[in-house]
Amino acid sequence: MSLANMGQAAIWTGLILLLLLQCSSAAKLVCYFTNWSQYRSGPAAFLPQNVDPSLCTHLIYAFADMKDHRLTTSDPKDVQFYKDLNSMKIRNPNLKILLAIGGWNFGTKKFTDMVARPETRQTFIQSVISFLRQHNFDGFDLDWEYPGSRDSPAIDKERFTALVEERQKPGKNRLLLSAAVPAGRYQVDRGYEVQKIVQALDFINLLTYDFHGTWERTTGHNSPLYRRQAEKGGAAEANIDFAVNYWLEKGAPASKVILGMPTYGRSFTLSSPSDTGVGALASGAGTPGPFTKEGGLLAFYEVCSLKNATFHQIEEQKVPYAIQGNQWIGFDNVESLKTKVGYLKQKGLGGAMVWAIDMDDFKGTFCNQGPYPLIQTLKRELGISSSSKSPTTTQPTPRGNAFCENKSNGFYPNPEDHTTFYNCAENQTFRLSCPEGLIFRDSCKCTWP
């Protein structure tokens, strides 16, 4: 091979490896960063410097605001935080950082007004693109809770589709687009043309938590994996398994579904000290935590540091709960998250989403399990490692291997070893390996066996 051809082969191989960096990851670990967690007191205050850049594959900043149909900041420190988080790409160039708008407290009116006309949608879209480029974000997350519900008119179902379909056209450095979507049948049916929107979205973050909480008068787990046999009707749908299957049945590709994992629990005040099981009567919200200070909610670091609490397992639903006096708390721990990752692998889902990074024991000071015990568990169980974000390559195979002779440039399965594959460049054969635990399937895809 001439020097010129060798140079072309090297360039081709480099391009292939760059492409593989983007498409070889078998799973996403999407973590939400909330800009109000900075205001928590003492060791619970969460700032950009508390983020481990190698922990998550995608970081979503929550939340931006909207004014006159244009994207804007929501907190005085947002712009500085944008800079601080983006500087972490120096330590992890593969980290993707997105900006989110919406959330429960944002409501629906601003979204409804914005999508009402094509010109206001375009005003919003162009402001989003400009804002993201200005602040070096990699993409945008729509957290509209929810089209067609909560005073949002029925027509918003079609208008939401129009909004995501009018996204930036494919091209150089295309911005990512994701959406946070509900787990309940009612909200899904009223708000989403699933088969249409999933074509326009890079991934969807399935909000598989808040199935039960203090808006109810009986205890129930925040994020159960399965139903209990005693549950009937709508109650039997308040679990992860139903939500995942429903989105898949509606046409969502499994690879685009990112399973929501909470780093917080929902708490209740029990009505009777003798009735403490699942479904026990509750008089109201649980006592606010010392740091999160919200009735009915406790961060994981507040749960793990409860004094004189007893911990139990809901075997049917594969999740734990705690009892402390008259307080009942349904939460997730390391073991329940392991089980949920096993479930998402079995379903072929695209990865896990965490709400939120700041409610894990991020410093490792509360739970004695090291920093980020929950998210580190997700990272480990998903097979994501800082040292194996992309396939590895070898030198050209010996001349005796003529696999690539007369083949077009590109990559091909290795029929003798599913954990490796071939890159053909100018008739030279290069063997590459998928990250540990993955196999090569189709073109450009290292995935779970």
Residues whose CB is less than 8 angstroms from the CB of residue 154 and which lie 6 or more positions away in sequence, other chains included = 148, 190
Of 427, 438, 443, 431, give the one whose Cα is nearest residue 395: 431
For residue 342, give the H/E element and its range.
helix 334-347
The answer to whether 405 and 412 are in contact (CB under 8 A) is no
Using the 8-state DSSP alphabet, how is residue 287 labeled? Answer: P
Dihedral sign for Cα 420, 421, 424, 429, please. Answer: positive
**Choosing from 145, 231, 237, 302, which is the catalytic residue?**
145
Cα 325 to Cα 309: distance, rounded to the nearest angstrom: 8
Cα 441 to Cα 235: distance, rounded to the nearest angstrom: 39
Cα 44 to Cα 434: distance, rounded to the nearest angstrom: 39
Cα 359 to Cα 197: distance, rounded to the nearest angstrom: 30
The answer to whether 433 and 17 are in contact (CB under 8 A) is no
Long-range interactions of 319-327: CB distance < 8 A, separation 24+:
319/221, 319/223, 319/224, 319/225, 321/219, 321/221, 321/278, 322/265, 323/270, 323/276, 325/273, 326/269, 326/270, 326/273, 327/267, 327/268, 327/269, 327/270, 327/286, 327/287
Cα 36 to Cα 309: distance, rounded to the nearest angstrom: 29
The answer to whether 437 and 345 are in contact (CB under 8 A) is no
Of 46, 52, 139, 48, give the one whose Cα is nearest residue 92: 52
Q: What share of the chain is helix, strand, coil (3-state, %, to 5)?
A: 30, 25, 45
Does residue 145 have an active-site annotation?
yes
Residues whose CB is less than 8 angstroms from the CB of residue 265 and which lie 6 or more positions away in sequence, other chains included = 222, 297, 298, 300, 303, 322, 329, 330, 331, 332
Cα 270 to Cα 52: distance, rounded to the nearest angstrom: 38
Strand-strand pairing, 282-285 and 264-270? antiparallel
- Which residues have a catalytic role annotated? 145
